[in-house]
Structure 1
C-alpha cells in the first residue's frame, strides 16, 4: 500500500511538472523572422550574451514585474530565481557590461510592447497568448 501511495505521488508530480512547463511562452513581434530558439540561445539572450538577432538587429529584452510569471520564466529558462536574475542584471549595469531588460507590468503590457517593437523579445503566460504577438517555441 505504501508503495502505491509513493508511486501515485511520483506520477502526480511528473504530470504537474509537465503542465507547469508549458505555462510560459517566449514572444516576439509578428514581423520577427525567427521561428524558434534553442534553450541555449534563449538563455544567452536573457543573460545578455547574445545581443543581436541573426539579421544583425539589436535584441531588446523585456521582463515582467508579475512575480509568478517572472519566477516561472527565470526558473525554467534560465535556471535562476527571479532574485538571482535581478542581481545578475544589477551587477551588469553597475560594471557597465550590460543593460537590464525593460520591465513591464504584466502579460497585457508585455504584448503591447512586443507588438510595436520588431526587435523585442519577452515572455507571457501561455493563457495570455493571442495573435498580437508571435510565440517563439524553445527547442
Structure 2
C-alpha cells in the first residue's frame, strides 16, 4: 500500500505524548502532520479501525493491511483533515518538529529542546495550525 500527499512544501510535524499515541505507536510518542483529506491519495484499501470517544466523536484509524502500520486517521471533530503518521513519509528525515502536545504524559528521559512549543494537554487548534503551516524546501 502506498499513498501520496498533494501539498506544497513539507508539512511541519508535532509530537503527541498521549497514552493512545504511546500505545498505538509502541513508542514514547507519535509524530504527526496535518494535511487536507482531499490532498491524500491512497493506493490500495487500508485496514480500518473506528473508535467512538465518550464525547461521541468518531475517530477512523487507517493502517496498512499487510504490515499493520498505522498511516493516518480522521476525526469527526476535525472534518476534512487527515492526521498522517509522519514516520511513514518517504522524506521523514527532513521533517521539522515544531510542537509537543500532551507533555503531561511524556515519559521520563524524553527531552524536548528549548524553544519548541509545548502543551501539557491538547494545543489550542489555532496555535497548532499556525505552527504546522507548510514550509518550502529548496535545492
Normalising by the smaller structure, the TM-score range is under 0.3
TM-score by length of 2: 0.27
Q: Which has the higher helix share?
A: 1
Give the TM-score normalised by the residue count of structure 1: 0.27
Which of the pair has more CA radius of gyration? 1
Q: Identify, as 1 or 2, the structure richer in strand.
A: 2
